[in-house]
Amino acid sequence: MFKKIYDVIVIGGGASGMFTAGCAAAKGAETLLLERNHQLGKKLSITGKGRCNLTNVGEINDFIDSYGKNGKFLYRAFTRFFNQDLIAFFNRYGVSTKVERGGRVFPVTDNSESIVNALRRYLQENKVNLGLNLQVKEIVLDDNKTDGNNKVIGIKIGGRKEIIKADKIILATGGLSYPKTGSTGDGYRMAKKLGHSIVSLMPALVPLETKEDFVKDLQGLALKNVSVTAFADGRKIIREFGEMLFTHFGLSGPVILKMSSLVVKHLNEKEEVSISINFKPALDREKLVDRLLRESKKFGLKSVNNVMKNFLPLRLVPVFLKMANINSDKKFKQITHQEKEKIINLLTDFSLKITKSRPIDEAIITRGGISLKEINPYTMESKRIKGLYFCGEIIDLDGKTGGYNLQMAFSTAYLAAESTVNS
Ligand SMILES: Cc1cc2nc3c(=O)[nH]c(=O)nc-3n(C[C@H](O)[C@H](O)[C@H](O)COP(=O)(O)OP(=O)(O)OC[C@H]3O[C@@H](n4cnc5c(N)ncnc54)[C@H](O)[C@@H]3O)c2cc1C
């Protein structure tokens, strides 16, 4: 079924694997792409809530910052292939794009299948050999190395003895999150067996669980324009502004996902983490006091319950008043000075204790992965094994939400493909 020898074998047919296989073939390499699922791009199909936020229109430095301290590793990859190149690529394959809030880029179809289909066409056009339903189990090294360096000679598929040969192997098996999409960590195991170090794998961009179980009464409630601050052992660690969501176990939504990596880090260090929500970040204390006074003058005869609806979403009011220990039937003008103080404090500092994150299965992205120290950033080639290249989420890189993770996958994919052909 397979040719005796290929120029390049790509393991994993996700975002980065499909793109790198297409690029290598377009540059003239006889390429084989192997995917364990019966379909390509399973995870890509569910990105951006099915709309696929493929990149961001931000500047290169915004991108670099979005991956934290590891971001600099990506300079070369971004110089070779960046956001406008990606947009132009998809435009060439018939996908028009649009820019939304925060510079996020989506296909105008609002359907991630347009992205997956464009990549499929790219593979077909460039005659990439495709093996679906095939799980690669092992990367095989040359036993007869003459120059003392380890180098790849091929791969083995589960249940088969034969070695499918290639001098260049690109490992694009993704991370550990959403394992039902096929990313179950095979790539880490294969690389580790070859001597690569794997930086601890942790969930990133992940919802958080709270100690307070009243959150389940608020399940599905989204809050817009709130300011959320996370504290570890009482010290502020991060503040974000935007939208968040209550769930049956705790908190999720863009703001929470953004801060989650840092929260997970502090939880792992056994620190006490809490999240404080400011429902009225546009109003300082003085303005809030004024506002309460005005409400009291206007609606003093109404119940506290009724008036608080002018400050908070309806579903939040009973929980809020319970926390403030205020009788909700009381007339607003009857609330005491201490109760007003309590309301102001809770409006600006509604605190919840974080117990843990949701498991890595539910994370958008995996933090950790193949150590950057062992990958050449100019080529994506392993510094340990000649002919082995990496791209996408398997690398120890994770970015913020906003299209940064897919751009990283596509840019590293391009650079890996280019390097396999040029070396
Ligand atoms: C719910 C969700 C929404 C997301 N939304 C966005 C978004 O809008 N924008 C954004 O930038 N990022 C988003 N991400 C992150 C983005 O999906 C990943 O960064 C990206 O998919 C990584 O691409 P990859 O090719 O490295 O890995 P994957 O897409 O995970 O692909 C890896 C592939 O390798 C295959 N594979 C694994 N092991 C083997 C093996 N042994 N043999 C053969 N094949 C194998 C898997 O089946 C899989 O198809 C989202 C992630 C999730 C979970």
Please say whether the beta carbons of 164 and 2 come within 8 A: yes
Residue nearest to atom 29 of ligand 1 (CA): 14
| Statement to judge: residues 199 and 57 lie in one domain | yes
| Statement to judge: residues 35 and 157 lie in one domain | yes
| Statement to judge: residues 328 and 404 lie in one domain | no
Strand partners of residue 418 = none
| CA 41–ligand 1 middle distance (angstroms) | 7
| pLDDT tens for each residue of 137-185 | 999 999 877 666 799 999 999 888 899 999 999 999 999 999 999 999 9
- Return the closest-CA partner of residue 30 out of 3, 68, 56, 1: 3
Cβ neighbours of residue 310 closer than 8 Å, sequence gap 6 or more: 295, 299
- How many Cα atoms sit within 13 Å of 74 on the Cβ side? 35
What percentage of the chain carries pLDDT values higher than 90? 91
| Statement to judge: residues 316 and 220 lie in one domain | yes
| CA 320–ligand 1 middle distance (angstroms) | 40
Q: CATH code at 189? A: 3.50.50.60
Total number of domains constituting the chain? 2
| Statement to judge: residues 383 and 400 lie in one domain | yes
Q: Please identify, by atom number, the ligand 1 atom nearest to the C-alpha of residue 399.
A: 11
d(Cα 31, Cα 122) in Å, to the nearest integer? 13
Residue nearest to atom 52 of ligand 1 (CA): 364
| Statement to judge: residues 321 and 395 lie in one domain | no
| pLDDT tens for each residue of 26-37 | 999 999 999 999
| pLDDT tens for each residue of 282-300 | 999 999 999 988 988 888 8
- Domain boundary (303, 322, 357) is at 357
State pTM to two decimals: 0.92
| Statement to judge: residues 149 and 252 lie in one domain | no
| Statement to judge: residues 198 and 270 lie in one domain | no
| Statement to judge: residues 216 and 119 lie in one domain | no
| CA 296–ligand 1 middle distance (angstroms) | 53
Domain range enclosing 92: 5-203+364-422
| Statement to judge: residues 248 and 369 lie in one domain | no
d(Cα 201, Cα 269) in Å, to the nearest integer? 15
| Statement to judge: residues 197 and 148 lie in one domain | yes
- Return the closest-CA partner of residue 390 out of 366, 406, 374: 374
- Domain boundary (357, 377, 410) is at 357
| Statement to judge: residues 197 and 150 lie in one domain | yes
DSSP string, 151-189: BEEEEEETT--PPEEEEEEEE----SSSGGGT-SSHHHH
Please say whether the beta carbons of 211 and 49 come within 8 A: no
| CA 365–ligand 1 middle distance (angstroms) | 8
Q: Probe ligand 1: pick from 9, 51, 164, 364, max atoms within 8 Å of CB?
A: 364
- Domain boundary (338, 357, 376) is at 357
Q: CATH code at 280? A: 1.10.8.50
